Amino acid sequence: MIAACLGTALLISAGPALSIPIRYAAVGAIGALIHPMIGLSLVLVVLAMAAPRRKRGDDGGALLLADQVALALRAGLTLEGALREARPDLPEALAGEVGHLLREARLGGLGRALASAGGAGERLYRITDRAVRTGAPVGPAVEALAEELRHEDHARRAAEARRLPVRLLLPLALLILPGFVLALVGPALVSSLARLDIGW
């Protein structure tokens, strides 16, 4: 019971830091209170899902930025205006990055700001900087980048789906299957030992 309580407290406290939704943390906590082995199995599954989710969040921000900028450019906005319009819908870190880029653009010009910018949106900055310097249309370049990011995201999700059985193999082999066998064999074993008058 002590181990179950510790596991419950750890999962609930670590859930937000690992970007684990509260409903998943609650399921693991309830499982730990029911039985430590059930809780441990759920914790392993939830933690295996947490890292890909965090990675997808970073890449999803770049894809969202490219999509929003492409949409604003098609609507007739300038590149600077498109970045400004996209900023409120972005994740906090990426929104701050774009805000810094826009401040630098006001001080030293958009071309210089794009050339020196980095971070999650760096690929967009490089492509738009190249288009601005060469005089090429910015919209098609941004749309091509958005499509490329979308294909990469799809390929990454497909790879994660293929790896899912491998990630589930450890809790399945070490916890669930032995527990299932114990549930089947345990009662018969206990009754056999009781007939042999073995004290507990």
Please report the DSSP string for 93-104 in residue order.
HHHHHHHHHHHH
Q: Would you kindly state where each structural domain of the chain is located, as residue ranges?
A: 2-162
Which tokens go with 22? 């509260």
Question: pTM above 0.75?
Answer: no
DSSP string across 53-78: HHHHHHHHHHHHHHHHHHHHHHTT--
What CA–CA distance (Å, rounded) separates 65 from 62? 5
Token look-up 């900023």 returns 87
Q: What is the pLDDT of residue 127?
A: 93
pLDDT at position 60, please?
Answer: 54
Instruction: Tell me 119's DSSP state.
Output: S
Judged against a pLDDT cut of 70, whether residue 158 lies above it is answered with yes
- At residue 70, the pLDDT reads 95
Report the pLDDT value the prediction gives residue 113, as an integer from 0 to 100: 92
pLDDT tens string 12-65: 454 454 445 555 555 555 655 555 555 556 666 666 655 554 444 445 589 999
What value does the mean pLDDT take over residues 121-150? 92
With pLDDT > 90 as the criterion, what percentage of the chain qualifies?
A: 38
Torsion angle in degrees (nearest 10) through CA of 18, 22, 24, 30: 120
pLDDT for residue 2: 47
